[in-house]
Amino acid sequence: MRIHAFIVGGLCLVCAPFWAMGEESPAANAKEEEDSPYEQLQVLARAMQLIRQDFVDDKKVSYRDLTYSALRGMLASLDPHSQFMEPEDFQGMQEDTRSEFGGLGVVVTMEDGVLTIVAPMEDSPGFAAGLEPGDQILRVNGQSTDKLTLSEAIEKLRGEVGEKVTMTIRRPRTKEIKDYELIRQIIKVPSVKGTRVLPAREGEPKIGYVRITQFNEPTAAELGRALDRLDKERIEGLILDLRYNPGGLLGSAVDVCGFFVPPGTPIVTTEGRSPGREYSTSPQGAHPRTYPLVILVNYASASGSEVVAGALKDLDRAIILGETTFGKGSVQSVMSLPDGSAARFTTAKYYTPDRQVIHEHGVAPNIHATLGTQEEIELLRARREGDSPTTKTAPTAKDSQLERAADALRGLLLKSKRAPTKASRAS
């Protein structure tokens, strides 16, 4: 057997045994006579031979192109979460998992078909060069960007650390067009953002806020540092924002739960054709925080976000506030192939501590709350999409869900302070 990576929500997850190419599981051996791989491979090979021999456009019939096309179709036919990844895509997924890549440190988007800088990241080549939000990237190393897709443009901006990249920038504010020469560096993208103490009136309890954008390798360590900063502010409650969080590493999601429950607490169980496995918080984990916790979720909270929300809800450790989550409760394994490409396909579903099924159901909130208006939704989404990883300013958009969460925490804290102690009840 080989060791493969598990992913939840599109990112590489945890390592577990999986039957490798050339090996057959016991169930597969039992069906070998009625479903022979050798006969089907002959069919595939014959089809490729005929296409290469007679297809009108010989530029589209290399063995690589035909094999990749067959793999794309094969994996796409399984379910919406299975896919084939070419070497570049697989490498990009690994970079996303590590939360670091070689690049220039600019967040970009397409505005009216023009590649536009949303924000340069602090302490990055783009920031040091003086690039500004709204700058338009006309050319990269002399190549026009007007026909590039956003993913193609990002691929050109990323690359080997130490390489020079020349960008031709148009600044709409001044109408100036100028070439900028930058050198790629390692760019680290934090997944824990917005750490702060929420504004409060005099006499009200201090409530901390932290947002997790996805679950990557450094997420638990980043959250630990964020909670340490909030603890120094003597917060009495915490809001953990998982809205729009698509998931990520299963191990990271379990580690995040470890900050709020005792060491060794079961968090999630995965079950598939292979024997099921239970994931628990580390038995050597630090002493967990015990202050009241509210987790914000919405329709776009998926996978790893649902692991955290579902577990802490079942364990009566957190109040879940917002909307029913996406319902992506399946686990994918990623198997690298000999040429650097990879196959990703679903191998299990996961269950919360109370054996609740998340897949296609989602996690229902304890307190249902939606954003008030479409304008509020758009303002919040725009702030998040344009949020530089090191942005320190407070959000300007109204956020009624966050306000509702803060009110819920204040009510809990007020109730706990008014509750009589055992000693007072005895007297």
pLDDT in tens, 131-184: 988 899 999 999 999 988 887 888 889 888 899 999 999 999 899 999 999 999
Cβ atoms of 413 and 237 closer than 8 Å: yes
Structural domain that includes position 166: 100-188
- pLDDT band of residue 280 (cuts 50, 70, 90) is very high
pLDDT score of 149? 84
CA 286 to CA 121: how far, in whole Å?
32
Is residue 37 a part of any domain in this protein?
A: no
Torsional class of 86: left (φ above 0), alpha (ψ -120 to 50), beta (otherwise):
beta
pLDDT score of 373? 73
CA distances 141 to 116, 131, 144, 163, Å, are: 16, 17, 9, 11
Do 175 and 202 lie in a common domain? no
Chain centre distance of CA 100: 13
> Which residues are known to be catalytic?
303, 314, 328
Average pLDDT over residues 197-219: 91
Is residue 34 a part of any domain in this protein?
A: no
Average pLDDT over residues 248-270: 94
Percent of the chain surpassing pLDDT 70: 84
Do 332 and 410 lie in a common domain? yes
What's this model's pTM, rounded to 2 decimal places? Answer: 0.73
Total number of domains constituting the chain: 2
CA 71 to CA 78: how far, in whole Å?
11
Do 125 and 206 lie in a common domain? no
pLDDT score of 286? 73
Per-residue pLDDT of 34-72, as tens digits, reads: 778 888 999 999 999 999 999 999 888 999 999 999 999
Domain boundary among 188, 223, 246: 188
What DSSP designation does 60 have?
A: G
Do 154 and 203 lie in a common domain? no
Q: Residue 272 class from Cβ within 10 Å (0-12 exposed, 13-18 middle, 19+ buried)?
A: middle
